[in-house]
Amino acid sequence: MKTALYEKHVRLEAQLVDFAGWEMPMRYSSTIDEHHAVRNHVGMFDVSHMLTVDFEGAQSALFLQRLLASDVSKLSKDGQALYTVMLNERGGIIDDLIVYRLHETSFRIVFNAGVATTDLEWVTAWQQTTAYSLSITPRRDLSIVAVQGPKAIQTVVEILDCPQLMAVQPFTAIFHNELFIGRTGYTGEDGVEIICPNADATNIWSQLLNAGVLPCGLGARDTLRLEAGMNLNGQDMTPDLTPYECALSWVLDLEPSRDFVGQTALAETHRQGIATKLTGIVLQGGVMRSGYEVQSNAGLGTITSGSFSPTLGYSIALARIPRASTGDCSVLIRNKQKAGRIVRPPFVRHGEKVHR
């Protein structure tokens, strides 16, 4: 499949890769240059492979309270957003997502590309089960361009002639003509995600390009989110793992009065005790990769996401290791034990080292 911006990527001579059936740019020039552009200036990503879905109707809030692990009634104003997870009945993570309140009776969710079809089938099946009154509309007519970096807001305000964006708080979105602009992202920098009609995507992309915004591929997206300590679904999270095992217990709204899918299983898992945790590892003298074995003071674990941090100049990783693990550890890299250290993510915030 191709996004509305595919021809732009080809013209920019991007290295294209298959991602969940989509032909997406891995990098345009250098992943490290693209990474630094986002940390120091501004970069943009085509993330139109993700699926925007609108939930509209009198009982849409009730429905999402049932389907999501966070309570959407916390969204008290139109435009407010929250990050949460959608769980299966075992408490395992189907997807992590951002839900925006559009109006009192309508919400917008963006699903990850790799599980978009699964997600859509899941919510559709639950709508039939609950018989709540709402419509669920997948919006493949919309594209998403993420503009990220310390200069992102200023640039977008100028390009889209949208001064009201200056006053928009993080995790809040506004409508601007046909555009839906949310102050959200997946890089650990300030920025926006612009959801626009497919027909407008190329024009917005070109204007941003002309304003000096550097196009960035999935390679930089991955190093940026990893530095920011953000999970990647399918890699750091799977349907067999609960939020407790994915460093996401903070998103759970567990009031007994609630009744969301997976809540009962979560309570049981919590009662039995959680054996592992998802945390960070830093290492010099090699590069950690997903699947590598970790030896800690409390036993064996596994790297779930590993790469090189362009900001820090050494390797960083997320790893699932025994809950009691702390301090020094060793990582098996291509048949050699390399010394690493367990740290608490994030690794980088606003361009600066934050792990200790």
Partner 1 sequence: MSETPQELRYTDTHEWARVEPDGTVCVGISDFAQDALGDVVFIELPETGTEVAAGAEVAVIESVKAASDIYSPVSGEIVRVNDQLTDAPDLVNSEPYDGGWIFVVQPLSDDLSADLLTADQYQEFCETDSNAH
Please give the residue ranges that form the binding site for partner 1 (CB under 8 A): 15, 26-27, 30-32, 219, 223, 285-287, 289, 307-308, 310, 315, 334
Indicate the burial class of 330 (C-beta count within 10 angstroms; 0-12, 13-18, 19 or more): middle
Helix intervals (H) in the chain:
6-11, 31-40, 60-67, 116-130, 152-159, 198-210, 218-227, 263-272
Are 77 and 227 in contact, with CB atoms under 8 Å apart?
A: no
Q: Which CB atom, from 91 or from 215, has the smaller least distance to partner 1?
A: 215
Omega before 25 within 30 of 0, i.e. cis: no
What are the b/e assignments for 200-238, b being 16+ CB within 10 Å?
bbeebbeebeeeebbbbbbbbbbbbbbbbbbbbbeebbe
3-state class of 148 per DSSP? Answer: strand
CB of 315 to partner 1, least distance (A): 8
Beta bridge mates, 214? 43
| CB 32 to partner 1: min, Å | 4
Query: Which residue lies nearer to partner 1 by CB, 215 or 219?
Result: 219
* Residues composing the chain: 356
Residue 183 half-sphere exposure toward CB, CA atoms < 13 A: 18
Q: Considering the complex, what minimum distance in angstroms separates the CB of residue 21 from partner 1?
A: 17
We find the least distance from the C-beta atom of residue 47 to partner 1, in angstroms, to be 19
The CB-of-189 to partner 1 minimum distance in angstroms stands at 18
Output 16 or 319, the one with its CB closest to partner 1: 16
Is 296 or 315 the residue whose CB approaches partner 1 more closely?
315
CB of 125 to partner 1, least distance (A): 37
Cβ pair 55, 101 in contact under 8 A: no
Instruction: Find the shortest distance in angstroms from Cβ 53 to partner 1.
Output: 31
Nearer to partner 1, 180 or 292 (CB): 292
- Nearest-angstrom CA–CA distance, 283 and 312: 11
Q: Which two tokens stand for residue 105?
A: 């009776």
| Comparison of 83 and 314: residue with beta carbon closer to partner 1 | 314
CB nearer to partner 1: pick between 34 and 71:
34
